[in-house]
Structure 1
Amino acid sequence: MIHIKRNLIFSLEKRKKEGKLIIDNVPIRLRVNYEGIRVDIQTGYRIDIVKWNEDKQEVKNGSYNKSRQSSSSINSRLLELKVAIQDLFGEFESLDKIPTNEDIKQVAQTLKNKGKIQSKDQIANNLTEVFQKFVKENGRANNWSNATFTKFSGVKKHLNSFKTNLSFNDFDEDGLTDYLIHLRVVGKMKNSTIKKQLGFLKWFLRWSFEKKYHTNDAYQGFRPKIKDSNKTVIFLTEEEKSKIISYEIPSTKTYLERVRDVLLFTCYTGLRYSDVYNLRRSDLKPNHIEITTIKTSDNLIIEFNKHSRAIINKYAHIPYENDKALPVISNQKMNDYIKELGELAKINTPVRLTHYIGNIRTDEVLPKHELLGTHVGRRTFICSALAIGIPVQVVMKWTGHSDYKAMKPYIDVADKTKKNAMQKFDLL
């Protein structure tokens, strides 16, 4: 990867009028020098020369310009511009390319178009602008996955459809209730989805409150009663797993063999689809797997058992792109093929799904194979491990779960499984 040498300097433009240097209300400019190229960018701010700190390249603390914009507000926006351009250089370095002066100017123009280069008082009046800052800052700080960015893109869409020119004052207790109803009626959401959406909104309102973008703390006491049912944990029982293992795949559907192997590998390791997809041969040690998970960046060590080792050995001598350990296809195709495999292997146990929209309960009964997907392997691993008596804290070390709350649905399933297993002695 190349390294682009660059120098970013904020300064005041030297202008003259009738032969005299202008010292009042002077434009602040950012000059970018890199690889023999110089780009001058107008920041959109002005300040008197006596209020400018040339050494620190910022407005002197406690100063205001003619537009009554404060030093802290201007300096914050200047830093944001500088960070955005540094990020651009980083992106081009990762591609072994050098940006053009138009690329750099476009970054500044994009910030202006989005209203980013403005005072904090101005930006606070526009909730959607603050929301963009929230996503950018938290996404970078917490290393969000693409899926998380997609979730919050959906949140923004729902906020925009709720009301134009949305402000923080709109989210008093009545406004929060109106938004809940909007999600239910316009968004046609189930109660379980509404709970998640309100959770995302409250996270944003809490963050923006702490950043002093608003003083409306109504979200803190907003705890509506939203009827919901317990989430059904979809996993494979030992009998169902045996059906899939013993199913003889027809010659016309040989692609299902690789899908089955990957599915079973997740059943015996507890890995998420994303981690199996990115599993490299360098992650495979003599007796265990060492990985950093994609979703949570957890460093995990997962010991091999005879089943997971056999699957790895089966593909050990087949070269795959990027030195991948297993022939993992796209998530969408994998989901489709797992359902197909489940149907062929007669995984047909009826499963009742219950959900609420408002106070209206809806029950749906589906054959289990229609509910199978890449998620089922990890859930099967957890349920199986707990059912055979492996301590929950050991299972959590393999899966990367950090608290018992997330494990409770699986513990309940394991308890039920053990109870049913004990009743089989009554048949002897």
Structure 2
Amino acid sequence: MKRTIKFNLFPKKVGGVLVECRPIRMRVCYAGYRVDFRVGYSIEPEKWNEEEGRVISNTKNRFRQTAGEINKAITACEEQIEAIFTRFELLEKRVPTPAELKTAFDEATGKRTPATEAEESGQPFYKAYAEFMETMGRLNDWTKATYTKFNSLRKHLEAFNKNLTFDEINEVTLQKFITSLHKADLRNTTISKNMSFLRWFLRWAHHKGYNPSNVHETFKPKFKGADGNAKEIIYLEWEELFNLYSFKFPPSRSSLEAVRDVFCFCCFTGLRYSDVAKLRRSDVKKDYISVVTQKTVDGLIIELNKYSRAILKKYENIGLPNDKALPVISNVKMNEHLKVMGEMAGIDEPTRVVYFKGNVRHEEVLPKYALLTTHCGRRTFIINALRLGVPAEVIMKWTGHSDYKAMKPYIKIVDKLKVAEMDKFNKFPIPRKKGK
């Protein structure tokens, strides 16, 4: 859904009256429509940067509101509009009318309380599901990937029973639903995630009074291989990382260089794709980057090393949209390019992948480049940091992990590597004594 979002000031006269401190306007253009919104702040024209659509730093308006406060509100408005378009793209699969866009924006900013179809019609199961996605998506600032996952779950539910009601939700029904997922040839890890999403929805519906059952609290099936113990953590060894970092792409594939740089930046900082994608130049300080993570909304300070600093410097004078610090493309495209550049750079170590479908164990051996994704950058950072002797507590401050549970798989890998390294002493030849 193509659109442009620009911020400027309302005309000098409002209602025929000359205004010195002019209201800030957000103008959204899409599908032949032009819709204006008030940001809720005003500023004098001489303190406004028309090109950037922001208030000039270190200034205040006549109400003593700072540039930082106003610019933060502008960014929040932009993010709300983008989230609304995303919901219409993924949930409604259509273009919103200007009235719908204004209503959704007012609801998102607290100017209007939503009265949903689901509330008005006695809460049919799927209308409640739509309300859950709309409400939780807004409150938790879901990404497109999260909307896609919940849309996928809905399709599986509808394939199972398109007339499903809350009265039918019990352990027998849920077990039959799991059986239908097995028949759809899904891996146990995927089924386990879908069931955790479904329990989240049922718990929400129970608190809202729509779902009379508490089966979401009592029904907790086990899925073989879904606990993460059998899952191979894909990461780059230190040598592989530096081979990729310094790799010279041929002129015909020069576009891969930017993808490589963004991926390596994640390898040297531990950032998720969602966070590097929204990293702005204003987030980059002299010796560190300051980010609020999209997934967990944690405020993180991540110190820069010479490699991450060099990558940022490479793009500091290149014009990028929305003042972004790095040339990040879509996650899907980046994952595709990672596999290509990994193969070109010789990252082809045979890697075993184990997964379960029901009780059947499956095993595949693939070259490592075929398994590369953006999240491998974060894993690479954690494992190499542990191998370098950085305390886990420090790494958790950089990555935002709140407890050791998520760190255990990485620590286990490093412990295995330590055992292998120590075993080299056992294989070292014993020198012969002189004269013997």
TM-score normalised by the chain length of structure 2: 0.69
> Counterpart of 1:293 in structure 2: which amino acid?
T
Match of 1:133 among 125, 128, 131: 131
Match of 1:159 in 2: 157
Identity percentage over the alignment? 45
Contact 1:233/1:379 (<8 A) preserved: yes
Q: Does 1:383 align with 2:380?
A: no
Alpha-carbon deviation of 1:140?
2.2
Taking the aligned partners of 2:253 and 2:346, their CA distance within structure 1 comes to 16
| Cα offsets for 1:175-202 (capped at 9, x unmatched) | 11101101111x3211111111111111
Taking the aligned partners of 2:320 and 2:215, their CA distance within structure 1 comes to 54
Match of 1:322 in 2: 322
Taking the aligned partners of 1:421 and 1:147, their CA distance within structure 2 comes to 40
Match of 2:369 in 1: 369
Match of 2:120 in 1: 118
Match of 1:303 in 2: 303
The more displaced of 270-279 and 245-254 is: 245-254
Contact 2:316/2:325 (<8 A) preserved: yes
Q: Does 1:392 align with 2:389?
A: no
The more displaced of 169-178 and 238-247 is: 238-247
Contact 1:139/1:149 (<8 A) preserved: yes
Alpha-carbon deviation of 1:149?
1.8
Q: Does 1:206 align with 2:191?
A: no
Taking the aligned partners of 2:218 and 2:119, their CA distance within structure 1 comes to 33
Contact 2:169/2:215 (<8 A) preserved: yes
2:267 aligns to what SS in structure 1?
Answer: helix
1:116 aligns to what SS in structure 2?
Answer: helix
Alpha-carbon deviation of 1:169?
2.5
Contact 2:342/2:372 (<8 A) preserved: yes
Contact 1:354/1:363 (<8 A) preserved: yes
Unaligned runs of 5+ in 1: 6-34, 36-86
Match of 2:281 in 1: 281
> Counterpart of 2:151 in structure 1: which amino acid?
S
> Counterpart of 1:130 in structure 2: which amino acid?
A
Taking the aligned partners of 1:104 and 1:319, their CA distance within structure 2 comes to 32
Match of 2:168 among 156, 170, 176: 170
User: What count of residue pairs does the alignment treat as equivalent?
Assistant: 333
Match of 2:186 among 186, 189, 195: 189
Contact 2:224/2:358 (<8 A) preserved: yes
Alpha-carbon deviation of 1:105?
10
Contact 1:191/1:355 (<8 A) preserved: yes
Taking the aligned partners of 2:305 and 2:241, their CA distance within structure 1 comes to 16
- Rate the CA distance shift 1:162–1:236 in 2: closer, same or farther, 3 A: same
Match of 1:259 in 2: 259
Taking the aligned partners of 2:202 and 2:355, their CA distance within structure 1 comes to 28
Alpha-carbon deviation of 1:321?
2.5
Taking the aligned partners of 1:326 and 1:192, their CA distance within structure 2 comes to 33
- Rate the CA distance shift 1:276–1:183 in 2: closer, same or farther, 3 A: same
Q: Which has the higher Rg, Structure 1 or Structure 2?
A: 1
CA RMSD of aligned residues (A): 3.2
TM-score normalised by the chain length of structure 1: 0.70
- Rate the CA distance shift 1:288–1:175 in 2: closer, same or farther, 3 A: same
| Cα offsets for 1:358-398 (capped at 9, x unmatched) | 11221111010100121111110011111222111211111
Taking the aligned partners of 1:378 and 1:104, their CA distance within structure 2 comes to 38
The more displaced of 295-304 and 130-139 is: 130-139
> Counterpart of 1:195 in structure 2: which amino acid?
S
| Cα offsets for 1:292-344 (capped at 9, x unmatched) | 22232221111011111122222223232222222223323322222122112
Taking the aligned partners of 2:100 and 2:146, their CA distance within structure 1 comes to 31
Q: Within 5 Å, which residues of 2 pair with 1:70-109?
A: none
Taking the aligned partners of 1:331 and 1:141, their CA distance within structure 2 comes to 23
2:407 aligns to what SS in structure 1?
Answer: helix
Match of 1:70 in 2: none
Contact 1:387/1:415 (<8 A) preserved: no
Taking the aligned partners of 1:144 and 1:259, their CA distance within structure 2 comes to 24
Alpha-carbon deviation of 1:246?
4.3
Taking the aligned partners of 1:385 and 1:104, their CA distance within structure 2 comes to 47
Q: Does 1:340 align with 2:340?
A: yes
> Counterpart of 2:120 in structure 1: which amino acid?
Q
Taking the aligned partners of 2:149 and 2:406, their CA distance within structure 1 comes to 20
> Counterpart of 2:420 in structure 1: which amino acid?
N
Alpha-carbon deviation of 1:139?
1.9
2:327 aligns to what SS in structure 1?
Answer: coil
